[in-house]
Amino acid sequence: MMGLMDDPLKYIDLFCGIGGFRVAMSQAAEGRGMASECVFSSEIDPDAQKAYEANFGEKPTGDIGEVRAEDVPDHDLLFAGFPCQAFSIIGDRRGFDDVRGTLFFDIARILKEKRPKAFVLENVKQLRSHDGGRTISTIMRTLAELGYHAECKVLNALDFGVPQKRERVFIVGFREPRRFDWPGGSGEATTHLEDILEEDVPAFYHASPKIRESRMARREGKPTPDRATVWHENKGGNVSAHPFSCALRAGASYNYLLVNGERRLTEREMLRLQGFPEDYEIVCGYAATRKQAGNSVAVPCVKAVVHSVLDSLEGDAVEVGAERAIQIYEGAL
């Protein structure tokens, strides 16, 4: 047994955004009666840095690419919701060298230098299919070459309590081979859309009459829900209405999601859709907070994954058979 409760569990928070991983880790540790300590955080966006500092009392380091791996404090866990830019060069099956120049490389070089016990990475669902699956295969192979036993799975935030359909790839890895069981989730939102909506929302958030009329016209002839819904207009112009939100996105049109086809989500509503606690302080304007929420992780989903990781770390290391080792190496796809 590792005795994780003997000392504070130290972790680092890379590409930390506004701290979704940190909130999830704190909640998971507190729920188990464990002490945890974030010993390093990194985020390049100034507005996200501002929000993170306001809520956690420390300003994240900027560009992680400019930080030497040996200067990162020792830690037990590495968390990273790493951006997906620059993956187009991956796929030549050169392992560690193949990921140089990508943001994933910054994670890899820190894992190589600091050797944490475990890590949790998060990325968009499309990572698994990017470049015909070669990108995720290269990432998983790189992790294996670094000596980590890793696997990946797509999880949906909607299955972990929040009214947001948000499918994301999670990659979990351990320095030693360990039994790991992915969290199953409840299969439904335990927090309903009505629970997160604010009342008496100012006119600022309401779409123009022209936008509302356009949405109504595209919904003509379709069933009218008898409860609060979020209307989503896709790229083809089809408008759907669901008692949950489609995935928040950082760069989409301001009006692609409308509550009851009438108004945009408020800053607090967006953070609630991501599972942030009510005492999370909003310190940036609408545009910046909207971007931050769209780039963030869904806290309850991450918390469930962290719980499973801690379960594994508190257990004994196991032997990995040849068949399982091959699955891990190839990405467990």
Sign of CA dihedral 238, 244, 247, 249: positive
CB 193 within 8 A of CB 230: yes
Burial 153-171 (b: 16+ CB within 10 A, else e): eebbbbbbbbbbbbebbbb
**What totals of helices (H) and strands (E) does the chain contain, helices first?**
10, 11
CB atoms within 10 A of CB 205: 18
CB proximity list for 39: less than 8 A, separation 6 or greater = 10, 11, 12, 73, 74, 75
Residues assigned a catalytic role: 84
Angle between helices 134-145 and 322-330 (to 10 degrees): 120
Distance CA 138, CA 329 (A): 10
Query: With contact defined as beta carbons under 8 Å apart, do 2 and 76 qualify?
Result: no
- How many angstroms separate the CA atoms of 170 and 79, rounded? 11
Sign of the Cα pseudo-torsion (276, 271, 120, 155, in order): positive
The residues with which 169 forms a beta bridge, in sequence order, are 123, 154
